[in-house]
Structure formats: C-alpha cells, structure tokens
Chains A and B, each alone.
Chain A
C-alpha cells in the first residue's frame, strides 16, 4: 500500500519535476496536471523530460484560474487517473507544484498506513469560522459567479450587487451542507472514489461550477457525505497573509521548517535553492514519529500579519503614518505630565525621580530650550534640546521621545508658558497621565521681583492659556488619565494625591512615601492674589486663598521634610 500524489502545476515546471522525482523515488506514483495556460511547446518538453519515469503520468489538461472551476476539474481528472492506474494507492495527496515535502516520504507513508481510514481534509461550515477574506462567505454558495474575479472585477462586483438587490438565491442541492477549508487535502481511496463515482455527481458538479472558489469547498463539502473518519486539518503547512494570499517560504526559513515537523509545506519560493536542496536530499534524518507541530510557524506568521495590518503603536515613520484618529495607539509607552508641581514644590524633580524611579525631565516644552533631565543636550536616539527644532513639529517631538525611550518611564513638567501644541495629542492619548495643579503658575510670579504691571499682564495670559488647556482635558475626546486640582484644594492635603500618582507610575513595589517634597513658602500668596484682583485681573483657577493667613499646614515655615504615617 502506498500513497499517490496528485500535483497541480502551472509554472516553474523544473521545480515540480524535481519534487515529483523525489516522490517517485520513494515509490509514490505522481499524476501531474499541467495548467492549459502553459504553452504546448513547454508542456511537451516537460512531458518528455519526465518520460523516463514510469511513475509519473499526465492527466487531461484543464484551464485553471484562481477562484474558478478549473482547479476542481483538474483535481477530479487527476484523481480518477490515479485511482484507475495505480490500484495499490490507498491515500491520495493533493499537492501543488510549489509544495515541498519536509520529512522523508517514508514517514508520511507510515503515518498514513497507521491511519488507513482517516481522511485529512480541513472542512468547516461557513458560519463557524472567520476565514474568508473579502466578505463573501455564505454567499459563495448562494450566488452565481459567471465572471472572473481576476479579469472582470467590475462585472463580478456588479453582478454580486445585482443578485443581492434582487435577492436571488441559488438552491443548494438537497443533502449538501456547504463546508470550506484548505484546498490541499489527503483522502482515502474509499472516500475519493465515492465522491468521483457518485450517481449525483452530475448535479453536484453543475452546482459547484458556479460557486465562488469551488476548490475550497467541493471536496470539503462532499467528503462530509461519505467519509467515516474526517480529521479536519490539512497535512500541508500553508500560511496566509492579511490579503488571503499564501505566505512564501524562502531560504532563511530553513530552520523554522525543519522544526515544524510538518509533512509538506507550501508555498516554496522557486529560487529557494537551499530549501529544495535540504529537503529533497536530506533523507538520512532519523525517523521521528512526531506529530506535525506548526505552532512556532503559526506564531511567527501571525506576528508578521499583525506587523503589516496594525504596525507598532506610537511609531510614526515613512511606511507607517496613520491618519488622525486611526493611530492604534498615539504613543508607544505610558508617560506622565506634571503641571504646577515644580512651581509649588522646591525640589520636585529630584524628589520624583527618587520616589518613582522614572526619568524626570524639566519643562520639555519650555520656551528657551528642551529641559532634558540632568541638563543633557542630547538624549536617546540623538534628540536634541533645540527649542526651534522641537517647535517645528512638537507632536512629532513628543511621540519620537516616547518611542526612543521605550522601556523607561518618562515624566516631564508642563505649564502654560510652554509650547501648547501637544495638548490635544496628550489629552487623546491613553498612555498619558496628566496631573494639573491649576493656578500654580502664579507662584513663580508671586516669588518674582518684577513690576506689578508686568506680572498682571503675564498672569492674565497664563490664566487664559491654562484655562484653554483645562477645557481640552475635560473634553469628551480625552482618553488620558487626567487629574486636576485647584491649587487651594491641593495645598490642603498634598500627600494623598501625590501618593496616588506615584503609585500609578511605579513599577517599584507599592510603598508609602517616606519623604515628601518641600513646598515653597506661601506666606503672603493670598495677599498677592488679592492684589491682582484689586488690579482688575481675577485669578480664579487656583481656587480661594484666604487673604489673611496661609492654609494650616503651610503656616509652618519649616524646611524639614515631614513623614507621613
């Protein structure tokens, strides 16, 4: 008992011949179907070069086109010839010219001999699997497809539309339940001959001739009628990309294919010399008796498909430049923006770096320069501190910074005096953690030694900018984790919010903060705000500060860090 190989060939005939000789060397007869589109001359030469091998025979040629009946007709003719010419064939294996056996043929023969009644054919009902690419699933079986999808796409689409609109439906022959699956199967003589010699075959053939992509459904459906034992999987390893086209295996996949333990793989690139050489000559391999294990290949190709269809979050580059709203992640990693903290606390940046373990920058969008942590002028990936370059495209500056510091949490200070162009980006970004102490911009003004007229003007401007920013942060499009406190409310109990923020950042073990940052002395701040009000400029973002005395915990001028229990 042996297996017979039905091989559908349409190009790279030399490779097909090489593989066919490999099969026959192990005693497996091969029936070749050569596409009618191959020129007569080429075909004759091919037939002649194979003529010395009695196990290679050629069947009647059909014109094959992707998605059309020809491929099924070819499989039928070739299978009939196989069953008729080689009576000791028990399993028939359908392969293409670009299939390559990965394991010694004898192993496949033994494997099938141990399962004499099993049909290996992937076969699932359309309702249960999301395989189809391009939208036609059940309609493959209920509409008519007289026009070629490849050559007459327009007519194809229009005719499908028309049938949908007129609600025309074909009747599926009684008893048939449409199934689909990989077109590469391996059937037993019993099942295959039952399909081919069915008295109803005429009816079925007529029906399937107008089904869309019948080679993925004809045998898959009919095998369900006759087989006593279907293993719904293909023995041929075949992966598909996001367009539903087969992935191609190249020389560099050699190790991957070796480890897959699959019997046959497609589609092999015809110029992959190393693959052909390795798998067609390497017969010495010990009998492994292992089950095929395509898991690793599955993972690699699933990753490739994802890379193609989704890309990497937060990466903007020449071949990934998503349009607004379609970014799949605006930035690559979480980061934190602090507004008003460095104004309110004297040593906030070094304190935060210590408490959170993150990299804490100053005002990255400051007007003078980009204040990288530690006063650096260049950081990861050669991002420079030039404010001019940053302001040329601030959003790209931010996404680029986050992308290039992957693996390290970034924190930076922000304020109404900074470049504001990133406000929408950061607000829409779920990776952003934005904490705002509203009105804290007034503290440096309060501490400054400037003319009050200047201060008043500046305060009005900053308040306007910050209030616009807060409006963005409160909008319905905001996806960042936003926390906003009025300054008055914040200074009442600063540690609790800070603890929450740091816990959220921290990859470090959650712990109570033992040391608090030192708050600036706010004595007289209430009076300062009152002076602004008296000048007609009403600072409202920070909330109400009493004029007379500073808040309770501010009354101590103590510089000593206090402990929180």
Chain B
C-alpha cells in the first residue's frame, strides 16, 4: 500500500509527549532570557485593551514595505503592533516611533542566534499577548482570509472561537513581477500586489511531520526557480500566523510549527477542509536584488546560511520568474477556487 500520508494527532507516547513539554519549556526559557537583548524605544502597550487583536513582528530595514503593511493590517483590525527593530539604519525606527499604535523595541543582537527573532517575539508574546489573538507577521507578508474585504479580523477570530479553534493556518504565497526582478517600480506606501501581481497556482505538496504533527508544505515559484535540483531544501510555506495566545505557548520554527501540538492541527482530517488563509509574500520587490547581496554577507537567514549562497547569487542576477503559466492575482475568491485557501464554511 502507499505510505500513510498523515498520522493521527493523538498517537504520541507519554515519553515523547513529555519530551515535547520540556522542549517547550526550554524555548520559553530561552525567550525569557532574551528579554535582556531588547531595549524599549516606544512603549504604547497601555493602549492594549482586552480582546484586542495584536500583531508582533521583527524587522530590519523595511522602510519601503512598512507603511503599506501596517496600514493594511490596521484596516483588517489589528489594534496594536509590537515590533522588534533589529538595528535598522534606513529611518525605519523614526517612522515606527511616529505610529500611534506601535510599540517598538530595539536590538543589535544576532537575528540568527535569536532563532530568527523568535526568542524576542516569544518574550513579547509572553508579556503582552496572553489571552489575545496574536498575528505573527513578517514585514513582507499580507494576510488574506475569506471575506477579508468585508469582515474584520475580530469577526474571524470570534467565529473561530465559536468553532472551538484556537489557531488559523495560512499558506505563504510568493508573488513576483513580470520581467526581471529589478524591472518593476515600487514606491513606499503603494499596494505591493500592484507591482507583483503574479504567482504560481501550483504545484504545492505537503507532508505531515512528527512528532509535532505539523504540516510541511513546499513548492511554488521559489522552488521552481531556485530549488529545482534540491527540492528538499525549498522554503517551507505553511504558517500558523494567527493564534489565540497563551503565555505558555511557543513557536518552534518561525511560525511554521508551534507547541503544544494541538496548535498545529489547523487541519484535523479526515475528509473535510478547515478554514485557512494565505499570506501574500511580497519578498520580490525590486529592492530584493540589492538586498540579497547584503543578506548573503550578513548570513543571518536559514539554518546553514552557506547552503543558500547560490540562492542569493541567483537573485542578485535579477532573474525573471514569470512564465506563461503564471497566474495573476485577483482576490481571495480566486485563491479559494484554486485550492490555496479555504473559507471552511464561513
């Protein structure tokens, strides 16, 4: 018979369960320790009201993206942003301190050593987000869920809670322009989807990973262009960005997987389809070309950065990701009919 594609969530022995419990505690302890690396720049956390939807983000030099990303999620219903600035030098900090709903922390420490910023963010989540719905974002991500033009995030979270769900999964969808990467133009504040309207509708593949029971989704444009020969190394596309947070929770690997395990069961099987969304990934704005050279130098991304030198080199050459089989983004209805997200009966 074929290999079993999924496993039940509840088939973990007590020893493994206990090991995961300690893993979670270890992660929480790391995060607790990492609080010393953060220095407070602007504290507006007194504005946070119970039941607010909060967003947490780590970023560096994202002045071109931030105005739109903040505005977009503000409009969806995020009431407060908690942002860690990893030593930007492009005016990001000044911009963020002016925002009325942003609390800002600054750090010069290594992004890589802080588990790609996760330690810092987990600490903020422990301190401020207990009991809140919490959205973990990157500066180049835009959350899309069913009916997002007419229904606020609070509507979504209230409905999820009514359904007894405490996490909401999203698929990271790479957007790209037609023509060479540095060929399009983008000015800060503009909708990046206008500059990057194309994406790959397929192929995406998934597998269930143990012991965390999280899905591992891969595929899409970046794999087609940069990882065709090493598909095992292609980027992970599943995320769990929206979680009703508890201070004892911890993300394990970016927000791809989390502990305790039930947070990963955004799909519980069998048969049906649970609600899920899409994170539009606006990584391929023209500035990526120059930034890639810098990122290759800094070696702060990926577990073993040297494995990915090729990837940066290829991007620096400003390739054209577009093909005649690319799909032009038109809205969430399109993503749902293509099977990239699901309204889940909402």
- Give me the interface of A with B, judged by CB distance under 8 Å: 241-243, 245, 248, 250-252, 269, 271, 304-305, 307-312, 315-328, 378-384, 386, 388-389, 392-393, 395-397, 400-401, 403-404, 424-425, 428, 477
Contacts and interface: CB of A to CB of B under 8 A. Distances in A.
B342 A317 contact: yes
Contacts of B224: 382, 384
9 contacts: A308-B274, A317-B273, A318-B276, A321-B5, A321-B208, A327-B271, A381-B338, A383-B203, A386-B228
Interface of B: 1-2, 4-8, 147, 150-152, 154-155, 159, 162-164, 169-171, 200-208, 215, 217, 221, 223-224, 228-229, 231-232, 237-238, 266-267, 269-276, 323-327, 338-346
B1 A311 contact: no
A321 B339 contact: no
Nearest to A311: B273
A309 B272 contact: yes
B143 to A, nearest CB: 14
The 6 A-B pairs with the shortest beta carbon distances in the complex, nearest first, are A326-B270, A308-B345, A381-B202, A319-B276, A311-B273, A396-B205
A243 B5 contact: no
Contacts of A383: 202-203, 325
B53 to A, nearest CB: 13
A318 B171 contact: yes
B203 A400 contact: yes
Given A251-B151, A323-B6, A323-B7, A311 B271 contact: yes
B269 A321 contact: yes
Contacts, number: 185
Contacts of A324: 1-2, 4-6
A310 B151 contact: no
A404 B202 contact: yes
A378 B325 contact: yes
A160 B6 CA distance: 33
A399 to B, nearest CB: 9
Nearest to B200: A382
A318 B327 contact: no
B96 to A, nearest CB: 29
A393 B223 CA distance: 14
A319 B1 CA distance: 24
B163 A245 contact: yes
Nearest to B345: A308
A492 B266 CA distance: 56
Contacts of B7: 323
Contact of A310 (B202, B272, B324): B272
A532 B339 CA distance: 50
B271 A309 contact: yes
A508 B232 CA distance: 42
A252 B155 contact: no
Contacts of A319: 169, 266-267, 273-276, 341-342, 344
Contacts of B229: 386, 388
A539 B164 CA distance: 61
Contact of B2 (A242, A315, A395): A395
A318 B267 contact: yes
Nearest to B223: A389
Contact of B204 (A308, A309, A317, A327): A317
